[in-house]
Amino acid sequence: MTGVKIAVIGAGSIAWSSTLIRDLCVTPGLYGSTVYLMDINEERLKLVHSLATRYAREVKADIRFEKTMDRREAIRDADFVINSAMAMGHSYYEEMRRVSEEHGYYRGI
């Protein structure tokens, strides 16, 4: 298969993105592809990009990872777009967790 461009919007979740990165890297049919990781949180984006490039190198996956905070750049000419962005952001999620725990619900949301 010829390489494709995959854009991942909201790639700053280390838990979710690490699973996706692993799945991409162990799929030989995607070798030669470029994955654009996009997030609005620069710190999270750098962490996920570092994880992705290191993992791809260690498992010898021929996949290139790029990072950007510009959604348009990420999706420009993309063959596939994966949207994993939290609609209300991480602060909303944390507030929901706090309120849930305040009422005795400790199993996560």
CB neighbours (10 Å) of residue 36? Answer: 24
Residue 51 counted as domain residue = yes
Q: Would you state the pLDDT for residue 64?
A: 98
Domain of 51: which CATH number?
3.40.50.720
pLDDT tens for residues 9-48? 999 988 889 999 999 999 999 999 999 999 999 999 999 9
Query: What pLDDT, in 10s, does the model give residues 67-108?
Result: 999 999 999 999 999 998 766 666 777 777 788 888 887 766
What domain count does the chain have? 1
- Give the bridge partners for 8, in sequence order: 37, 82
Distance CA 67, CA 47 (A): 10
Question: Which pLDDT does position 89 carry in this prediction?
Answer: 64
Region 49-73: mean pLDDT is: 98
The answer to the question of residue 107 being in a domain is no
Q: Sorting pLDDT into bands at 50, 70 and 90, what band is 4?
A: very high
State residue 106's pLDDT score: 72
Residue 68 maps to a domain: yes
Q: Are 34 and 61 in contact (CB under 8 A)?
A: no
Asked whether residue 1 carries a pLDDT value surpassing 60, the answer given is no
Residue span of the structural domain in which 31 resides: 5-102
Q: Where are the alpha helices (DSSP H) in 1-109?
A: 14-25, 42-58, 71-75, 89-102
Residue type (1 letter), 12 = G
pLDDT given for residue 85 in this prediction: 77
